């Protein structure tokens, strides 16, 4: 994930490890001079998009929305098991 953030921020890095380093990376990128909300949204979109694979979106939907897609089991199809 950190490598994707670095790639999508044109090389912004942090020497700190873990979440502290990730936060520093994000902060450094977001607070650059002449930064725009559109560029910030594109960076987040591109970074999260880089995590997706062809098989991930259905699972992402389950975990983020709590709705099980049609899986062929009447008791589970389109059932909402969230929100968390």
Tens-digit pLDDT profile for residues 12-41: 999 999 999 999 999 999 999 999 999 988
State how far Cα 43 lies from the chain centre. 10
Higher pLDDT pick, 35 / 60: 35
Which pLDDT belongs to residue 62?
A: 63
Tell me the C-alpha to C-alpha distance, in Å, between residue 27 and each of 5, 15, 23, 35, 44.
12, 14, 6, 12, 13
If you count them, how many residues does the chain have? 84
Confidence of residue 57 (pLDDT cuts 50, 70, 90): low
Task: DSSP for 66-81, please give it.
Answer: -B----S-TTTTT-B-
Higher pLDDT pick, 24 / 44: 24
> Given a cut of 60, is residue 46 above it in pLDDT?
yes
Percent of the chain with pLDDT over 90: 31
Distance from C-alpha of 8 to C-alpha of 60, rounded to nearest angstrom: 21
> Given a cut of 80, is residue 48 above it in pLDDT?
no
Distance from C-alpha of 22 to C-alpha of 38, rounded to nearest angstrom: 20
Residue reference for tokens 């450094």: 28
């Amino acid at each position: 994930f950190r490598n994707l953030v670095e790639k999508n921020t044109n090389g912004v890095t942090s020497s700190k490890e873990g979440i502290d380093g990730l936060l520093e990376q994000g902060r450094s990128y977001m607070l650059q001079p002449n930064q725009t909300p559109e560029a910030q949204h594109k960076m987040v979109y591109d970074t999260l998009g880089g995590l997706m694979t062809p098989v991930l979106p259905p699972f992402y939907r389950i975990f983020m929305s709590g709705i099980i897609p049609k899986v062929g089991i009447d008791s589970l199809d389109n059932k909402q098991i969230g929100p968390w």
